[in-house]
Structure 1
Amino acid sequence: MGGIDRLISNALLSEIKKKMDLELLHKVERELFLEHGMSIKLSIEHFQKFTSVLKKNSSLDVSKFERDCLDKIIRIKESNEKYFVTIINPILSDSILELFGEYDSRCIITTLLDKEYTIPQILKESKAPKTSGYRKIENMMINGLIVETGKVLSESKKISKLQCVFQEINLDIKKGKTVVNGIIPKKIMEKSSSVKSILQTLE
């Protein structure tokens, strides 16, 4: 798992369940558990496993099926080593908007838009309160807006470096609709197993 996999996992799972025949869905869920010991929800964050099981258990054009699901969530264009994305899934857009609505979370996100920091550095740079700041960073990691990009040595221990998945972000808010537009760096996007079928069409 990496890149934007966790960010879009809930929305992607919802689209997959809408488009997949119920009998096939149950078959895939069973095979994922037997082969990999994971639920279909977890497999969306380890997408190559989901793809492998779906290919073995159906006659679908799996790449097309995955692209059709992803097209309901995200649009991607590539230019100059960056990916320009539009998140069109309303639930995912609203969840990102909700994070930006809270001041300390917004400060944490803007601190990490184009820089990699450890958690102590994030708290220092963003001026977020220590106790609630840790909790908010953890919540954003769970929701995939912040990702681990590496490790650094600190006082003889390795600690994580973190970065926002977006390098730039713009919230387009209209009556009854929120669209998230942003730029995702190449090194983050290309770690994402779930969007490989889209990225291949851009090459």
Structure 2
Amino acid sequence: MNEIDRFFANSVESIISENLGHSALSKIKSRLSEKFGIGIYESLAQFSKFDIVLREFFGKGADSIERKCFESILLLDSKSMKNNGMYITIKDNDLSMLFLETFGDEMKKNMINCVTDKSMTIYEILQKCDIPQTSGYRKIKQLIENNFLTIQGFGTSSDGKKIPKYTSVFENIKIDIEKNKVLVSVKIKKDFQDSDMLEIMQTLK
């Protein structure tokens, strides 16, 4: 699954559910299962598949549904793309709070920063950040579950087993608080800029 699509999948699912209603959503879920053998979350994490089924039901009207959904969650900075970068502003409050909580945790922040330029195994991350294993494993698990870290390559353990290496999905995270509102701007790492969701967003403008 694409890392960026996966990161935003839960937020998109929430907005889609609010806008489509139970009946339409049930039909879409049935069609996704029939056509691709996947559920709603999996389709949003591979957004082009959700887009295909949405257009089967709504045709060109899918544009307005997707546009409304995206506008509620994130803003893509088109100017940054011309300068070989891809910055997004998080508009969804729950996601903004997740960034604030994650980067407000010194251990999690250090873990993310240490794999920004180089992927590492969990053991290497804990060693590099000098973090105790018990609390460290728990926090890394949370970072993986929340899609801040993703697998990029594999290493080999002392007994010859293949073990995953992890890297961060975002870089250059900027968090501000204005009038009790959390403002988050992030740059998507070059390795993860290939996103069905972001590609479709650009066609809707």
Q: Give the Å deviation of 1:21.
A: 4.6
Q: Give the Å deviation of 1:200.
A: 4.8
Q: Give the Å deviation of 1:92.
A: 0.6
Tell me which protein shows more helix as a share of its residues: 2
Name the % identity. 32
- Residue of 131, 151, 157 corresponding to 2:161: 157
Provide the residue aligned with 1:122 in structure 2: 125
State how far apart, in whole Å, the 2-side matches of 1:125 and 1:61 are: 50
TM norm structure 1:
0.87
Any stretches of 5+ residues in structure 1 without a counterpart?
A: none
Provide the residue aligned with 2:143 in structure 1: 140
Alignment of 1:2-151 (within 5 A): 2-77=2-77, 78-151=81-154
User: Which residue identity does 1:76 align to in structure 2?
Assistant: L
CA spacing shift, 1:132–1:189, aligned 2, 3 Å: same
User: Cα deviation per residue 1:167-189 (whole Å; 9 max; x = unaligned)?
Assistant: 21011112321111121122212
Any stretches of 5+ residues in structure 2 without a counterpart?
A: none
Q: Is the 8 A contact 2:9 2:44 kept in 1?
A: yes
Q: Which moved more, 1:30-39 or 1:175-184?
A: 30-39
User: Cα deviation per residue 1:103-126 (whole Å; 9 max; x = unaligned)?
Assistant: 211221222233322211111111
- Residue of 165, 179, 184 corresponding to 1:180: 184
State how far apart, in whole Å, the 2-side matches of 1:62 and 1:151 are: 39
Report runs of 4+ in structure 1 exceeding 4 Å deviation.
199-202
State how far apart, in whole Å, the 2-side matches of 1:160 and 1:200 are: 35
State how far apart, in whole Å, the 2-side matches of 1:116 and 1:199 are: 30
TM norm structure 2:
0.86
State how far apart, in whole Å, the 2-side matches of 1:172 and 1:124 are: 31
Count residues in correspondence: 201
CA spacing shift, 1:82–1:161, aligned 2, 3 Å: farther
CA spacing shift, 1:123–1:198, aligned 2, 3 Å: same
Q: Is the 8 A contact 1:81 1:185 kept in 2?
A: no
State how far apart, in whole Å, the 2-side matches of 1:201 and 1:83 are: 17
